[in-house]
Chain A
Amino acid sequence: MRDPGGCGIPPLTPTPVVPAALLGSALLRRPAALGAAAARCAPARESHGPPRQEHGSSRAASLHWTGERAVSVLLLGLLPAAYLCPGPAVDYSLAAALTLHGHWGLGQVITDYVHGDVPNKAANMGLYVLSALTFAGLCHFNYHDVGICKAVAMLWSL
């Protein structure tokens, strides 16, 4: 492809030189002065929304990552706690940490393998239902039954 503007590097996509008169009103126009200014900075910026919005979503993702590690460490600490001081405090903490750790973990699995807007959304909604039921069931077990720590101890005494 011939180099149109003498820049030395032929552009990948053909950039047509269109005199103003030939452009229909249907096409989006920008005065050349603005165009020069835009070309200096990132040209596609206006279509992505305000930059603060992008930073917001990446900050949320970063906080989520940190939250995942924090819950993992908490769950790790609850294991010796369950052995050394079993009781309702550890029982309910385990119920919460176990459910949240599992919910976030399965969420990552869905993100990796379920593609497409609709299937992804449906799978995540199903996950929310499952996690809610799981937490409810564990709390019910802790309240009305022997509790998680005691149950494991009893099971192991078989």
Chain B
Amino acid sequence: MAALALRGLGRRCLLARLGPGPTLHRVIPMGTTAREEMQRFWERNERSNRPLSPHVSIYRWSLPMAMSITHRGTGVALSLGVSLFSLAALLLPEQFPHYLAQVRALSLGPALVFSAKFALVLPFSYHTWNGIRHLAWDLGKGLRLAQVTQSGVLVLLLTLLSSAALAAL
């Protein structure tokens, strides 16, 4: 935005310098467009292979920051899990009840079953509760930093409670 203003100013200065008079004889060189200038900047920047300043490795972690990347991580994990299940449904020879019966035949202890269910429902629960928090932000609610931290703690609490409750079913 500032670059455009400066370029306009530069052109006006140039016109003032050229002065009034028969305009047919005067021409102004076209110069580069903003897009071309940006592109040249990026080409030169990438060509020089400059090192990247440390950012995530040195910045102090905050709760909202950690919860944000966890939301992304759980989302990717859940998505890949669904895709894996889907591909298994396409490729495996037997139906779902067959494989379930095989797992049941392993006679796993109740503690192990609870832990497995808990591990499965934890990312799903977190992503769902934090997703609701995201939707509230999209409505413009709870965007002050104190509110962000409070809603974040609430989401973590709800995640643990609902995961434990669902795993116990």
- Residues of chain A having any CB pair with chain B under 8 Å: 3-7, 9, 11-13, 15-18, 20, 23, 27-33, 35-36, 38-40, 42-44, 47-48, 69, 72-73, 76, 79, 98-99, 102, 105-106, 109, 130, 133-138, 140-141, 144-146, 151, 154-156, 158
Contact = CB atoms under 8 A, between A and B. Distances in A.
Contacts of B103: 158
B76 A109 contact: yes
Contact of B30 (A3, A12, A27): A27
A39 B11 contact: yes
A14 to B, nearest CB: 9
22 contacts: A3-B13, A4-B14, A6-B13, A15-B10, A15-B13, A18-B27, A18-B29, A27-B30, A29-B28, A32-B28, A35-B15, A40-B8, A42-B4, A47-B36, A134-B82, A136-B90, A137-B83, A138-B86, A141-B85, A141-B86, A144-B95, A154-B96
Given A33-B23, A109-B72, A44 B33 contact: yes
Contact of B34 (A44, A73, A156): A44
B16 A141 contact: no
Q: Is the interface of A mostly helix, strand, loop or mixed?
A: helix
Give the interface size bracket for B toward A: 35 or more
Contacts of B9: 7, 9, 11
Interface stretch (B59-67, B130-138, B144-152): B130-138
B89 A145 contact: yes
A9 B56 CA distance: 40
A23 B27 contact: yes
Contact of B17 (A4, A42, A135): A4
